[in-house]
Amino acid sequence: MALDFLAHPGSGAPSGRAAGGAVGPAPLALRQTFSRLGPEFLSDSPPQGLPEPRLRLVSEDAARLLGVRPPSPDDARDAEACASWAHSFSGNAAAADGSAISTVYAGHQFGNWAGQLGDGRAHLLGEAPAPDAAQACGHAWWEVQLKGAGRTPFSRHADGRAVLRSSLREFLCSEAMWHLGVPTTRALCLVDSDLPVRRERIESAAVVARLSPSFLRFGHFEHFSHSGRHEALRKLLDYTVARLQPEAAQAANPALALLSKVAAATAQLVARWQCVGFVHGVMNTDNMSMLGWTIDYGPFGFVDAFDPGYTPNTTDAYGRYAWARQPAVARWNLLALAQALLPLIGDEQAARDAVEEFAEHFMPAMRDGMQAKLGLGPARADDPDLVQDWIDLLAACRADWTVSHRQLAHWVAHPQAGAPAALRRQFAAWPQRLDDWLERLQRRLGELDAAQRAARAAAMLLANPCYVLRHHLGQAAIAQAQAGDFGAARRLQQVLRRPYEEQPGCEDLAEAPPADAGPPVLSCSS
């Protein structure tokens, strides 16, 4: 199929506009490769689209990955181009074209087998070549998918829609995570409409266009394995290996090699989640990517007042998906994937050993991440105790995860000035414990001269973001957007593009939430 975009001009003109005027529309050809697997893997699924769609948010960074230059929703001169993008990414263009598909998968949800699931509100438009494979993490294409464009054959009793509230959260967080350095699907744009959608209350509809080299999940393999369709399972394996891990095709056991690669990538991913204080909230196997990327932003949250047992999901009554349990759940999910691949692997112990590689990758990745966050440099024998005591202190004081680490970097740069007031406020309940721990850190760093200490502090600032997508900021942006004002959302989007830089005039976006805000709790409709 072909969608009308704004082609990127050869000049370095500002977003959405070539030198001398508006950029004319040019088709971007999308091809379907997954559909070649056959009808048992998918369903032709034309989107329902949106009535009178409006382009609200665009990621210039994500558009660049496709080699296109987007229009600006704020620029009246781009009105025609914005209408074209809204038409394409609401699903209206794909509805007329008829080549969109939705895929079938299964999964474990909260540890229980859920049976057949599938893309209940996602439509895969196809894939576009990546002009720069390095920007696609080595892949040669980007798949383009719409989320929220209406019912599919896998919607079950749902409407296939997404609401503005959840769509805005996904758009902002997927882009924020990318710039934090966390592998994730990308958000290209957000389109909304006045179409009413019923959730806990009546809300308005929206669609997010998202990009990934692949949207394959653990659940795709579970579906065919649990139903005993091993020929289809083999076909899916061959497709996945060829596209995502071509070197695994040369292994003696490609299925085992793929499992090993996924375990390693998932370990790196979860370590990064932990280090930035991100809680996914719904780590079901159908929400686990075969790429080892973050996918499906539902009831997620960044930890504010640190609680290892925090989960943002109101459905998660027992805290299965809490911050502290994410590594163990990831391993559990990998065991489910190993079970699904076992008919092709053939050796149960080898499959278990491949899953255990998760710990072999996660532990050093988590260690290195925390060493960087605390400015410790190469690990020493006593460092694990120092790191654990810091995490325990954060939990005891319910200190803000992001503020505490950022302010600690400032203290490392200038210890003679004492702990910054912003750091002390986080540990007001246990000031002596903070002083005791800082004294230990001072001894650990004592051999550094002034230049080395400054370099270490600068490195800490690159490991500890100033800005994350805090719940209260997202909610404020959502409230304004629901009233038709996307100014706060665009401000957040721009600031979150440079999360490790302190940006003048944005101090309010770096602060911990008000004391009475409480931890974010969200439903799966979020």
pLDDT for the residue numbered 524: 72
Using DSSP's 3-state secondary structure scheme, residue 375 falls into: coil
What is the rounded CA–CA span in Å between residue 337 and residue 221? Answer: 7
Alpha carbon distance 526, 511 (integer Å): 24
**Cα(124)–Cα(116) distance, integer angstroms:** 19
Distance CA 131, CA 150 (A): 30
Strand runs labelled E in 148-243: 162-163, 186-198, 202-212
pLDDT of residue 362: 98
Task: Bin 309: left if φ > 0, else alpha if -120 < ψ < 50, else beta.
Answer: alpha
- Phi, psi values for residue 217, rounded to 5°: -125, 165
Would residue 148 be called left, alpha or beta, if left means φ above 0 and alpha means ψ between -120 and 50 degrees?
A: left
Nearby residues of 62 by Cβ (< 8 Å), 6 or more positions away: 175, 186, 187, 188, 189, 211
* Cβ neighbours, 10 Å, residue 515: 8
What token pair was written down for 208? 């997010």
Burial class (CB in 10 A: 0-12, 13-18, 19+), 422: middle
User: C-alpha angle with apex 97: 91 to 98, nearest 5 degrees?
Assistant: 85
Output the six-digit token pair for 37: 């697997």
d(CA 146, CA 124): 6
Query: pLDDT value at position 29?
Result: 80
Strands 202-212 and 141-147: antiparallel
Q: Among residues 244, 166, 248, which one has the least CA distance to residue 210? A: 166
Catalytic residue among 119, 192, 286, 316: 286
Q: Return the pLDDT at 11.
A: 28
**In 37-188, which residue ranges form alpha helices assigned H by DSSP?**
60-65, 79-89, 92-97, 164-180
Angle CA 292–296–300, to nearest 5: 105
Active-site annotation holds for 286: yes
Phi then psi for 289, rounded to 5 degrees?
Answer: -85, 140
Read off the tokens for 68.
């296109």
How confident is the model at residue 137, as a pLDDT?
Answer: 78
For residue 279, list its beta bridge partners. 301
Helix locations, 374-524, DSSP H: 383-397, 401-413, 421-426, 431-444, 450-461, 471-482, 487-496
Name residue 155's amino acid: S
Tell me the C-alpha distance between 224 and 318, whole Å: 30
Q: Is 99 helix (H, G, I), strand (E, B) or coil?
A: coil
**Listed residue (259, 263, 227) closest to 347, CA to CA:** 259
> What pLDDT does 515 receive?
80
Report pLDDT for 516. Answer: 80
Q: Looking at this protein, which amino acid is placed at residue 153?
A: P
Sequence-distant (6+) residues with CB within 8 A of 468 are: 176, 180, 276, 277, 278, 302, 402, 496, 499
Instruction: Return the pLDDT at 95.
Output: 65
Contact indicator for 183, 221 with CB cutoff of 8 Å: no
- Predicted model pTM: 0.94
Task: Print pLDDT tens along the chain (526 aa).
Answer: 555 543 333 323 333 333 333 333 445 789 999 999 999 999 999 999 999 999 999 999 999 999 998 999 989 999 999 999 999 999 998 866 778 999 999 999 999 999 999 999 999 999 999 887 777 678 889 999 999 999 999 999 899 999 999 999 999 999 999 999 999 999 999 999 999 999 989 999 999 999 999 999 999 999 999 999 999 999 999 999 999 999 999 999 999 999 999 999 999 999 999 999 999 999 999 999 999 999 999 999 999 999 999 999 999 989 999 999 999 999 999 999 999 999 999 999 999 999 999 999 999 999 999 999 999 999 999 999 999 999 999 999 999 999 999 999 999 999 988 999 999 999 999 999 999 999 999 999 998 999 999 999 999 999 999 999 999 999 999 999 999 999 999 999 999 999 999 999 999 999 999 888 777 777 776 5
